[in-house]
Amino acid sequence: MLHGTVIILTSFAYLGLLFAIAYYADKRADAGRSVIASPYIYSLSLAVYATAWTFYGSVGRAASDGVGFLPIYIGPTLMIALWWVVLRKILRISKQNRITSLADFIASRYGKSALLGGLVTVIAVIGILPYISLQLKAVSNSFTILVQYPEIIMPTQVGAAPIRQDTALWVALILATFTIAFGTRHLDAAEHHPGMVAAIAFESLVKLLAFLAVGLFVTFGIYGGFGDVFARAAAEPKLRAMLTPLEGVAGSYANWVWLTILSMMAIMFLPRQFQIAVIENVDEKHLNKAIWLFPLYMVAINVFVLPIAFGGLLRFPDGGVDADTFVLTLPMAEKQELLALLVFIGGLSAATGMVIVETIALSTMVCNDLVMPLLLRMRSLRLNERRDLTGLLLGIRRGAIVLILLLGYLYFRLAGEAYALVSIGLISFAAVAQFAPAMLGGIFWKGGTRAGALCGLLAGFAVWFYTLLLPALARSGWLPIGLLEHGPFGIELLKPLQLFGLSGLDQINHAMIWSMIANIGAYVGMSLSVSPSADEHRQASLFVDVFRQTGESGGARFWRGTASVPDLYGLLARFLGSAAADSAFGEYAGAKGLRWPDDRLVADAELVHHVEVQLAGAIGAASARIMMASVVKEEALTIDEVREILDEASQVVVYSHRLEQKSRELEAATADLREANERLKELDRLKDDFVSTVTHELRTPLTSIRAFTEILLEHPDVEIGQRKKFLGIITKETERLTRLINQVLDLAKIESGKAEWIESPIDLKEVISDTLAAMGQLFRENKITLDARLPERVSPVNADLDRMIQVMLNLLSNAVKFCDRANGRIGVALVERDGCLQVDVRDNGRGISLEDQAAIFNKFRQVGDTLTDKPQGSGLGLHISRQIVEHFGGRMWVESDFGSGACFSFALPAGAAADKRVA
Amino acid sequence: MSDFESKGQRFIALCMLGMLLFNYPILALFNVSGTVFGVPVLYAYIFVAWVLLIVLMAFVAESDD
């Protein structure tokens, strides 16, 4: 028999069990063997997303909308696919900055702004109230229904109870006590509640099992399986339309899409989801499992929603039973007492899980981001001087929990009856969706500023309030209903449900469209038009570039000022107690290889940052900032300095690029050196060659001189004609020897730079004429035709007259040597072009092959087959000539087609060009 | 880092796939009368596609990083 007493006892037994689990988990965590250090517990605790709304409301929604309840769970699945990108980043940021709540996160991101943290807290509290009232409504309704067993009577028919006997109030008060016992037993520096997480994971199991039990009972107990339920529904004309529902009953595809987007935001930004997914997360790696286990949980808890909905509609065809209660009333109608009780406990677990986590998250926000910053600013309270503030902090949180639950109850009394469960919840979803621009913008866009976030949140919240909360109050009779029908002051354009004439949309979609336009518009617009402060700049960089930083010291780079260790320790001890302060300092000293309190610590930027982060963990970033200011004399960094520090970070990247470049340059230099070494070796080889060649060249004439003198010495009777011939050869060979030695000496002088150059303006035409005249005899002897083309006048060149004659002689005598034997012809031309005087000496010999052309100016290089042809010169002439020409800034080259003569040319700068060179 | 990035990209692709599967016009293709093993086509489609998406997510999530 289900007496009220039995139900109440069972409920308290269940709550007691929860408390035992939490107590056990806390003890285990204190012993360092936390039960929540598991991805499975993490995944289950995330299922706090499924509340009484899911447990009772999904069936209610399905009974009117068919699949219309599913976007609430498909949306989160899509968002979870992005968790690897988004949540992992939020996790990392929160760990590094000791973020304690959603409000703390946003305040911290936008320059640790207390104002912004307060605003977020207010929005969150007001926005979540309908959601909390939903839980109260569900628990009190299910209790009221269950107490009537075996009758099935709706709470509305029972009539409004006087406030002292109102179940919802008692539920609110019991839950408040329970939550206080759960979440605020002591103050944890990191806001970790391992006991709570373990209890929530257990609750998730209970509600899933209860729902699956009732689902299996309805589908396979009352009916003959899925097919049977749907077949019977199809046979009912009233229900047939719901089987392909998207166009008709469930509204448009637009509704579906908006609901999906709304739930995507909700899974990220509901304070309780943020608390469980981010604050209570103990290991980033747990994400890997949670990413698929949690969506799977959502599938499991939704599989039986449609069969239960259709089963309920078939069982209670007259509409006298609220579809929101089918989960409970179906077992009751079938006289399944135990199952009904299990369902009630399942619903209770869904509601308590939500209320516990949500109120703990909200109370942290209220304490850290709303009350504490205000109290700390009130100098008359002299909070700075109090020795121990932990009691105060806990007191504020406990007060906040009671207040939030009572406000939730108030909303339930004011507006709860006008809406179905799901519609109440969606109002809260739309409220927390307002955090999306500031949050997502904050972690991916460095340009987002405090002013932008403030304006965006205010604008979005204002529109939400106007288009969702006001109508809810108006429908409940607390505001004139004319406001909805005719607009404020009769202005039709401002009707809350058809703002600016936008009609034809679901109320939630309508509010989402306008609030998002206002929110994103203001956020982006203000961010772009107001430039950020140094603080904002720094925080933006810390958040957006979180994966580029290493360790917790990221924030210390931005601090400059003076502080003392005892002051810092005192501050921490006041808020955390001296045990926690000791452990925080010990941890810091340990990382430095020191011992606390034996070794002296330096109150440098890093220690100050460490203390601030610890403090932020207890009282939020904005409050911590204020408190730190009381013991630390900080020199404000200017925006330029912050930029500079940020630049330093990017300079590291640049530096590594430079390092790469340097190593590339080094490689290039090595290659150059190797090349130079090769060239040196080559030169060394050339020197050896030179010495051996010179020796060889000297020996040839010497041998012939020696041979002839020996003949003359040993044969004094050689006839006079013969003797004259021999002596002639000896003289000629001696001359050749002298010439060779002179040339070697000459070359040595030129190459060592010791040669004397007498530079003066000379007329190159005269040089050529003189040389040709001097060689006239030689030409005639060899029967060579000379073709000289010399202009009337040419500009002078700066050069050594004798050297130039030497060059001309060399070129001409070479030409004579290599000229065609029978029909020799030599052409000499002088032209002035491009500020240069060019001399060509052309012969009609056999020419020079292409390979030889390159080598012919080298020392001792003689063209022709050295084996068959007798060498016709020293092999130094051309080399010396080229050296001379190059000395005067000119160049010398040869052009030749093999077989049709060669043309040696040189060019020297003339006139002005020559003067410039000399100058 | 490149492993991390490619994992992120796979998840983004899965999210986009999900948005495609649970949206007009794909959804409209299955919004027809008729049943699969006694379950209306649309319901069957949504749950099958949903589980499939989660299986893919599990595959990517559990791939070594």
Query: Do A84 and B15 make contact, defined as CB atoms within 8 angstroms?
Result: no
Nearest by CB to residue B33, choosing from A244, A296, A303, is A244
What pLDDT sits at residue B6? 81
User: How far away is chain A from the Cα of B15, in angstroms, using its nearest Cα?
Assistant: 5
Nearest by CB to residue A244, choosing from B32, B57, B62, is B32
What pLDDT sits at residue B1? 44
A790 — pLDDT class (breaks 50, 70, 90): confident
Three-state DSSP class for A788? strand
Residue of B9, B17, B27, B31 to mutate, interface with A, max A Cβ within 10 Å: B31
- Element at A633 (helix H, strand E): strand A633-634
DSSP 8-state class, residue A635: P
Is pLDDT above 80 for A116? Answer: yes
- Element at A906 (helix H, strand E): strand A902-909
A919 — pLDDT class (breaks 50, 70, 90): very low
Nearest by CB to residue B18, choosing from A78, A227, A247, is A78
Say whether residue B48 is in contact with chain A using an 8 A CB cutoff: no
What pLDDT sits at residue A540? 83
Nearest CA in chain A to B45: A67
Tally of CA atoms within 13 A in the half-sphere of A131 that contains its CB: 31
- Entry pTM: 0.67
Q: Kindly state the greatest CA–CA separation across chain B.
A: 49
Nearest by CB to residue B12, choosing from A82, A287, A299, is A82
Rounded CA separation A146/A537 (Å)? 57
What pLDDT sits at residue A865? 45
DSSP assignment of A161-208, as one string?
A: PPGGG-HHHHHHHHHHHHHHHHH-SS--TT---HHHHHHHHHHHHHHH
What pLDDT sits at residue A380? 66
Kindly report the average pLDDT of chain A as a whole number: 81
Rounded CA separation A123/A132 (Å)? 14
What pLDDT sits at residue B5? 67
Rounded CA separation A436/A445 (Å)? 13
User: HEC string of A5-50?
Assistant: HHHHHHHHHHHHHHHHHHHHHHHHHHCCCCCCCCHHHHHHHHHHHC
Query: Do A253 and B50 make contact, defined as CB atoms within 8 angstroms?
Result: no
| Chain B residues in contact with A226 (beta carbon < 8 A) | 37-39
Lowest mean pLDDT, pick from A28-32, A435-439, A826-830: A28-32
For chain A, which residues make up each domain, given as ranges? 4-70+128-420, 550-637, 653-751, 756-918
- Element at A508 (helix H, strand E): helix A507-529
Is pLDDT above 70 for A420? Answer: no
ω into A76 cis (within 30 of 0): no
**Beta A825-833 vs A785-789: how paired, if at all?**
parallel
What pLDDT sits at residue A78? 94
User: How far away is chain A from the Cα of B55, in angstroms, using its nearest Cα?
Assistant: 7
Query: Do A67 and B46 make contact, defined as CB atoms within 8 angstroms?
Result: yes
- In angstroms, the first-to-last Cα distance of chain A is 123
Tell me how long chain B is: 65
Rounded CA separation A326/A308 (Å)? 7
CB pairs < 8 Å spanning A and B: 106
- Element at A630 (helix H, strand E): helix A621-631
What pLDDT sits at residue A867? 43
- Residue A803 in tokens: 């050297």
User: HEC string of A347-372?
Assistant: HHHHHHHHHHHHHHHHHHHHHHHHHH
| Chain B residues in contact with A546 (beta carbon < 8 A) | none
Let me know: does A115 contact A454? Beta carbons within 8 Å: yes
Query: Do A287 and B22 make contact, defined as CB atoms within 8 angstroms?
Result: no
Lowest mean pLDDT, pick from A190-194, A221-225, A873-877, A899-903: A873-877
Window 1-40 of B: residues touching A by CB (8 A cutoff) are 7-8, 11-12, 14-15, 18-19, 22-24, 27-28, 31-33, 35, 37-40
What pLDDT sits at residue B48? 93
- Identify the CA nearest to A369 among candidates A586, A114, A552, A128: A114
Which CATH number does the domain A653-751 belong to among 3.40.50.1820, 3.30.230.10, 1.10.287.3510, 1.10.287.130? 1.10.287.130
Lowest mean pLDDT, pick from A150-154, A691-695, A722-726: A150-154
| Higher per-residue confidence, A121 vs A589 | A121
Query: Do A74 and B46 make contact, defined as CB atoms within 8 angstroms?
Result: yes
Tally of CA atoms within 13 A in the half-sphere of A686 that contains its CB: 10
A551 — pLDDT class (breaks 50, 70, 90): very low
Is pLDDT above 90 for A76? Answer: yes
Tally of CA atoms within 13 A in the half-sphere of B37 that contains its CB: 6
| Chain B residues in contact with A92 (beta carbon < 8 A) | none
| Chain B residues in contact with A288 (beta carbon < 8 A) | 61-62, 65
Query: Do A225 and B57 make contact, defined as CB atoms within 8 angstroms?
Result: no
- Identify the CA nearest to A421 among candidates A877, A63, A694, A816: A63
User: How far away is chain B from the Cα of A250, in angstroms, using its nearest Cα?
Assistant: 12
Three-state DSSP class for A760? strand
| Higher per-residue confidence, B60 vs A237 | B60
Q: Is A888 left (phi over 0), alpha (psi -120 to 50) or beta?
A: alpha
* Cβ-based neighbours of A680, under 8 Å, separated by 6 or more: none
Rounded CA separation A243/A249 (Å)? 10
The amino acid at residue A141 is: N
CA of A79: how far to CAs of A48, A94, A303, in Å? 16, 19, 20
A416 — pLDDT class (breaks 50, 70, 90): low
**Beta B35-36 vs A561-562: how paired, if at all?**
unpaired
Cross-strand partners of B35: B40
Query: Do B54 and A292 make contact, defined as CB atoms within 8 angstroms?
Result: yes
| Chain B residues in contact with A299 (beta carbon < 8 A) | 47, 50-51, 54
ω into A155 cis (within 30 of 0): no
- Element at A676 (helix H, strand E): helix A639-714
Query: Do A81 and B11 make contact, defined as CB atoms within 8 angstroms?
Result: yes
Lowest mean pLDDT, pick from A123-127, A261-265, A320-324, A419-423: A419-423
| Chain B residues in contact with A79 (beta carbon < 8 A) | 15
- Identify the CA nearest to A892 among candidates A828, A840, A824: A840
Cross-strand partners of A633: A562
- Residue A497 in tokens: 């449900």
Rounded CA separation A474/A419 (Å)? 12
Opening angle at CA A342, ends A38 and A75, nearest 5: 55
Mean pLDDT of the A672-689 span? 86
Nearest by CB to residue B54, choosing from A79, A288, A295, is A295
Query: Do A256 and B38 make contact, defined as CB atoms within 8 angstroms?
Result: no
User: How far away is chain B from the Cα of A229, in angstroms, using its nearest Cα?
Assistant: 9
Sign of CA dihedral A551, A555, A561, A563: negative
Per-residue pLDDT of A439-484, as tens digits, reads 999 888 888 888 999 999 999 999 999 888 888 777 777 777 777 7
User: How far away is chain B from the Cα of A78, in angstroms, using its nearest Cα?
Assistant: 5
Nearest CA in chain A to B14: A81
Lowest mean pLDDT, pick from A675-679, A726-730, A851-855: A851-855
Rounded CA separation A571/A869 (Å)? 105
Q: Does domain A756-918 have CATH number 3.30.930.10?
A: no
Rounded CA separation A352/A696 (Å)? 112
* Cβ-based neighbours of A190, under 8 Å, separated by 6 or more: A98, A617
What pLDDT sits at residue A385? 62
Tally of CA atoms within 13 A in the half-sphere of A458 that contains its CB: 11
Mean pLDDT of the A576-596 span? 80
Residue A26 CA from chain centroid, whole number: 37
A689 — pLDDT class (breaks 50, 70, 90): confident
| Higher per-residue confidence, A251 vs A115 | A115
Nearest by CB to residue A77, choosing from B28, B37, B53, is B53
* Cβ-based neighbours of A660, under 8 Å, separated by 6 or more: none
Is pLDDT above 80 for A654? Answer: no
Per-residue pLDDT of A796-822, as tens digits, reads 888 888 888 888 888 888 888 888 878
Is pLDDT above 70 for A101? Answer: yes
Question: Fold match between A653-751 and A756-918?
Answer: no
The amino acid at residue A407 is: L
Nearest by CB to residue A243, choosing from B12, B15, B33, is B33
What pLDDT sits at residue A648? 60
Nearest CA in chain B to A255: B23
User: How far away is chain B from the Cα of A646, in angstroms, using its nearest Cα?
Assistant: 22
ipTM over 0.85: yes
Rounded CA separation A700/A872 (Å)? 12
The amino acid at residue A544 is: V
What pLDDT sits at residue A518? 93
- Identify the CA nearest to A839 among candidates A784, A764, A910: A764
pLDDT above 90: percentage of residues in chain A: 16
A709-748 residues labelled b (16+ CB within 10 A) or e (exposed): eeeeeeeeeeeeeebeebeeebeebeebbeebeebbebbe
Rounded CA separation B45/B28 (Å)? 11
- Residue A413 in tokens: 């009394």
Q: Percent helix, strand and coil across chain B, each rounded to 5?
A: 70, 5, 25
* Helix segments in A388-498, DSSP class H: 390-415, 421-432, 436-444, 450-464, 470-475, 482-486
Query: Do B18 and A292 make contact, defined as CB atoms within 8 angstroms?
Result: no
Give me Rg for the CA atoms of chain B: 15
